[in-house]
Structure formats: structure tokens, C-alpha cells
Amino acid sequence: MKKSDSVVNFGRKSAGRLLPAVSTRDNKARRGRSLLLAGSHNYPGAGVLAARAALRMGSGYVILAQPNIAVSSLENPDFLLCDLNDKRWEELKFDAILVGPGFGVNEFTASVIRRLKELQFEKVILDADALTVCAQENLFPLPRTWIVTPHTGELARCLKVTSEDIDQDREHFVKLAQEKFQCVVLLKGHGTLIRRSARTYKILSGNSALAKAGTGDVLAGMITALRAQGLRPARAALLGAYLHGACADLWVAKGRDSLSLMASDVIEILPEVIHRVRKG
């Protein structure tokens, strides 16, 4: 990492040092259990993308949970499904939980966030609809160990400013957000920024190929898997964001046009990126 104007650059060498170790003693339980409250009847793909990304990022178990589950286990045999009309999410066994992608802006989403705060559960990632709910229901601040992953528009709603304001000074607004939210803040976009307490990091990977629906769901699933495997909040956010961006960089490096990248392509290319980063 190199320091520049109070912002610490986070690149490939730093990412390599944070990758979870692989051991012959590993089993699916040791690799962590990820619970994803993501997707819905209207947006089933958001949950599927997050779940597949969590698996690719190493989580030993992945459970995708929704009311009126909208996807099929026959088409998605790699992760578990739970209909929240039949079973309460609190009854499930998990190490880390993601709430928000395609899950809906409603009272149920708000109740989940309130309950997680009451339980003082540490490994929580909030994305997409969960952030909108936090803004509408005044659920900030959040526990320090939580991670939020807004894009510019979502952060603007949370801070009650415009997207244009944030684009003019991203470093200022990610700092302001961390002071208000109290947790780790990952501001997506060109030059992803991550803020924890008194330090801001800039991710040295990624390009315009990631400007595609669903790529944020993939990132959220990756970070959830890293938290489930025991990485500390800021480290999980940093590593997840770097690998996510590196997937887009490798896509372009292989001679593919940046317009053509899909969210599912990020998941497919992730194993090669992890291998390259691990080998240094």
C-alpha cells in the first residue's frame, strides 16, 4: 500500500496478503456459512448472482433465503434455498449475512436490520434495498463491524445530497458517510473508495466494464463469503473490491470489449483472478 494525500492505495500485493489460507484440514464448515437475504419474485437474479459469487469466493455453505422463494434448486444445485414463509431466518445457522440485493424496500427488510442490531450480530453486509430502507427508516448509525456497499445514488439518498455532489468530491462524502453510519463504507464507482474509522482506501483495480446491472450483487456476495471465512470487516471489503475490479481488468486484458462484460462473467473469471493474485 502507498499513501497519497491521506488516501491509501490498495493494490495486488496487498490483496495477496489478505487471501484466506487454504489447508488440507479445511471442510465446508470451516470455510464459513453465508446467509443471503437477497432476491425476490420481481428480482430473482440478484439473489442468484450473490449466491454464486459467495460460493466462488470460498464460502463452504451458502443459503439463499426469500419469502416465496423465486428460484429453483434444480437450476441452482450449488447453494441451499430457504422460503422465509416456512422458516424464520433467525433459525438458520450462519456466520455472515447479506441483506438487500433485490430483496425489496419494505417493512420486512427493515425488521431484519433492526433485529440484527438488537442481536448485536457482527458480520453483516447491507447493500441495495437495505440501504434505501436504512435511509427511509432512520436506522443509522450501524454497528462498527458492519459493511455497507452503496453506489453513488444510494449514498446520495442516505446523506440527503445529490449524486452530482458526491461525484464532485467522493473522498469527502465517503468520510461523511462513515461518520454518520459508523461502520465500514464501500463507495462503488470509478476508483472504489473504502472508509473505516480514520482512513480511506482507494482500490487500484476495476474499469468501466463493471457498469452493468448485477455486478454490485456479485461484489456483495463475495464480501459476505470473506466475512464468513473470518476476515475482519475492512479487510473483507478491501479484498472483495480489489478482486471484483481485477476481474474486469482481466476481462479487458484478454481482448474482450468492456461493453460486453456481464455480472455472471465476473463470477466465471473470479477463480483465475484469485489464482493469479495468490501466486503473486
pLDDT in tens, 229-240: 999 999 999 999
- Residues placed in the known binding site: 46, 102, 151, 188-192, 216-217
Counting Cα atoms < 13 Å in the Cβ hemisphere of 178 gives 22
pLDDT at 27: 78
What's the burial of 4, exposed, middle or buried (CB within 10 Å: 0-12/13-18/19+)?
Answer: exposed
Q: What is the count of structural domains for the chain?
A: 1
Residues annotated within a binding site for AMP: 188-192, 216
pTM: 0.96
List beta partners, residue 61. Answer: 33
DSSP 43: -
- pLDDT above 90: percentage of residues in the chain: 91
pLDDT tier at 280, thresholds 50, 70, 90: confident
Type of residue found at 209: A
Helices (H), 19-168: 44-56, 107-119, 129-137, 152-159, 163-168
Dist. CA 263–CA 215, nearest whole Å: 5
Could you list the residues known to form a binding site for (6S)-NADPHX, using ranges: 46, 102, 151, 217
What CATH number is given to the structural domain containing 78? 3.40.1190.20
The count of residues in the chain is 280
Which residue(s) pair with 124 in the sheet? 97
Q: Looking at 22-26, 83-87, 149-153, which range is the least confident one?
A: 22-26
Domain extent for 25: 2-279
Separation of alpha carbons 57 and 107, rounded Å: 31
Residues 79-119 have pLDDT tens digits of 999 999 999 999 999 999 999 999 999 999 999 999 999 99
